[in-house]
Amino acid sequence: MPPRLLSINGEPTFLLGVNYWSRAGGPRMWERFDASVVRAELAQMRQLGLNVCRSFAFIPTFMPDPPGVDARALERFRSFLELCREEGVGTIPSFLVGHMSGENYDFPGQRGRSPYTDPEVLAWEQALARGVAGAAAGQPSVVAYLASNEMPYWGGTADPPTVTAWAGAIRGALHERDAARPFSLGDGVMNLKGGQNGFDPQALRGIIDFVGPHSYYADVDVLRQAYNAEFCLRSLSHLGLPVLFEEFGASSTQVSDANQALYYREVIQACLSVGAAGALGWCFSDFDLAHERPYLHHPFELLFGVTRADGSEKPVCQELRALAALARSLDYPRLEHPRPQTAIVVPSYFNTTYPFCSDDRDRMRRTLLQAYALAASAGLETELVPEGTPLAGYRLVLCPATQKLLASTWEALLEHAHAGNTVYWSYFAGDQSFQHQAWCHNFTELTGCRHLLRYACYDLPEEHAALEGAGLQLHACTTGGRPYPRAYLPIDPVRAEVLAHDERGRPALTRVAHGSGQAIFLNHPWEHYLAEQAGGTDDGAAFDLYRLLATRAALRPSVRASDGRVQLRVVRASDGADLLWVTNHAWQHVTTTIDSPGGAPVHGTEEQLSEGSCAVTLAPKQVAVYRLRG
């Protein structure tokens, strides 16, 4: 098994921490460095149960006169590293910090030149990497290195070969001074939003030692927003590298103090239960720097802290203490997290722009996230895998509301079904009238159906579509967005079994055997319908479709909740016992029935979990962990 954790002082551990600027200066902390303030802040982190902070070498301070690295800044950085060691807090230095909190800061004399390809600017970057690594080499408080802070915002986009060559050059310079620590880029893996900025994780696998998504996602649907952290983590786990959630958080201008605590709880518990390397909140403290850039023009950035500018704690601090205690009590490095046996195929069109192709990638991401939420709520452990990833080991493969896949992928799906697995595909007609309707060249062979399309004529559903049959009674509003994506595909089930019909009694959900496997086809873009609605998943029956898929794929979970807003996950403890995470993703109290062997409370509740079928009431965003019996 590849390593999934990073280490502090040689010990693999869950990294629980924050991104850090001192209250004494914010990004200009190195110019106003106050060792007593920094020591007190690090001590406060430790009191909160945090074991790591991410630190930043601000370019204007560390290289005011390229190519030289400022000696005073480096000396203060060394002092900071020693304070980290003394206070027992690890740190992850980011050393090319040309972007911070809504503003870019170039090297003096850069004059718009590319940090990826301009030889002189690249030499300055390498000099800064050597300077920081030289100051940090041998210092036990250093956990890992990050090349940048959200590099695409400062350096712009490029093609993957250009970024990969740049990353190799930066890593090479760093390793001249310190090759002992893990290295990554700090770019934030923004390709998870769609498109290609050059920072392609697959292309960078030979250079980076871990991967670190950043996410500040908003959605009109509460459940999709709740599952976003897992979506990011499970979109990268296929790489086989540790996944550190490098940035998440919320400003007090955007969320109440009480709800900030609940948000941190949900994200960090997702990281713990999925098996992530850690979670770093943005950020440690609020700032009293309203008249300084970048806060002058981005004032909401002043209030992202888990502590206030006067040093007092926000309610989230108590949540952090509890989560730190849970991570320690679990013997986290020895937990066995469930390996996903379900895959959602992420079309290559999500990141690759093919000739004469156009796709709404915001819509694609929302649909993929909607499918992940449905799968998780149905109890399916699911990864999101890029198109072209080998599918062996995935017993259920989902292609939700998908129009475009490569020809080779359509054929691979058929082969995967013939190999004894279940393939599910729901139709999507496209985002616009150009290159419209079905793109699957082996449609009849894959689905066992014949389509009845009329050229360039769209078959639009009723405003309220329905699916009935095979135990399903599903309803969805179809009126959101443009007409083309709403269309369904009229079919004749030539050799397929009809599992469910639509509101007019027409065949809608079908199944066809392929050897010992099967393909299940839905002729409506159901996930798209739900993804275009606010509260599209509030109806508990919405998850029944994916529960049906789980049953058909023989992936019925060992524990089950009646309410889809409550997620269950079983993780194997080091002593062989099973731990059950019970997460209420709703912002209101939810009472659900849980079928389980019963268990004793470990975290988040004092109530026993009764054996068999029992009713459990959960507070908003409550997470309860149980040790299951038997």
At which residue do the structure tokens 């996930």 appear? 527
Amino acid at 415: E
What was the pLDDT predicted at 479?
87
Alpha-carbon Rg for the chain in angstroms = 25
Tokens of 302: 């002043």
| CA 544/CA 628 separation, integer angstroms | 26
Distance of CA 440 to the CA centre of its chain: 29
- CB of 462 closer than 8 Å to CB of 512: no
CA distances from 483 to 368, 461, 466 (A): 20, 10, 18
CB atoms within 10 A of CB 119: 7
Give the residue among 276, 189, 298, 258 at the shortest CA–CA distance from 5: 276
CB atoms within 10 A of CB 365: 20
Residues 489-534 pLDDT 10s: 999 999 999 999 999 999 999 999 999 999 999 999 999 999 998 8
User: Checking DSSP bridges between strand 278-281 and strand 15-19, what pairing results, if any?
Assistant: parallel
| CA 71/CA 62 separation, integer angstroms | 8
Q: In what order do the strands lie in the sheet with 566-572?
A: 566-572, 578-584, 623-628, 599-603
- CB of 577 closer than 8 Å to CB of 214: no
| CA 192/CA 149 separation, integer angstroms | 17
Number of H helices, E strands in the chain: 15, 29
What was the pLDDT predicted at 1?
40
What was the pLDDT predicted at 21?
98
Give the residue among 538, 493, 490, 525 at the shortest CA–CA distance from 512: 493
Tokens of 245: 């959630």
Contacts of 303 (CB under 8 A, 6+ apart): 251, 252, 253, 286
Residues 439-450 pLDDT 10s: 999 999 999 999
Q: 276: buried, middle or exposed (CB in 10 Å: 19+, 13-18, 0-12)?
A: buried
What was the pLDDT predicted at 429?
95
Residue ranges of the chain with per-residue pLDDT less than 70: 1-3, 536, 538-540
- pTM tops 0.95: yes
Contacts of 521 (CB under 8 A, 6+ apart): 424, 425, 426, 427, 446, 447, 448, 449, 491, 496, 509, 510, 511, 512
| CA 550/CA 569 separation, integer angstroms | 15
Give the residue among 89, 86, 15, 28 at the shortest CA–CA distance from 56: 28
Give the residue among 599, 405, 455 at the shortest CA–CA distance from 414: 405
| CA 505/CA 489 separation, integer angstroms | 14
For the stretch 390-393, contacts whose Cβ atoms lie closer than 8 Å and that sit 24 or more positions apart, written own/partner, are 391/343, 391/416, 391/421, 392/419, 393/339, 393/341
State the virtual CA torsion across 409, 413, 419, 421 in degrees, nearest 10.
140
Tokens of 285: 């403290």
What was the pLDDT predicted at 538?
65
For the stretch 134-140, contacts whose Cβ atoms lie closer than 8 Å and that sit 24 or more positions apart, written own/partner, are 134/74, 134/177, 134/178, 135/74, 135/77, 135/78, 135/81, 136/77, 136/81, 136/93, 136/178, 136/181, 137/177, 137/178, 137/180, 138/178, 139/78, 139/81, 139/82, 139/85, 140/9, 140/85
SS3 327: helix
**What domains are there in the chain, each with its CATH number?**
6-333 (3.20.20.80), 342-552 (3.40.50.880), 560-628 (2.60.40.1180)
User: Checking DSSP bridges between strand 517-522 and strand 15-19, what pairing results, if any?
Assistant: unpaired
List the end-to-end C-alpha distance of the chain, in Å, as a whole number.
27
- CB of 4 closer than 8 Å to CB of 266: no
HSE at residue 607, side-chain half, CA atoms within 13 A, is: 12
H or E segment and range at residue 416:
helix 407-418
Residues 188-227 pLDDT 10s: 999 999 999 999 999 999 999 999 999 999 999 999 999 9
Give the residue among 81, 306, 36 at the shortest CA–CA distance from 181: 81
Tokens of 201: 């994780």
CA distances from 498 to 25, 436, 501, 502, 523 (A): 66, 26, 7, 11, 11
Backbone angles phi, psi at 253, to 5 degrees: -75, -15
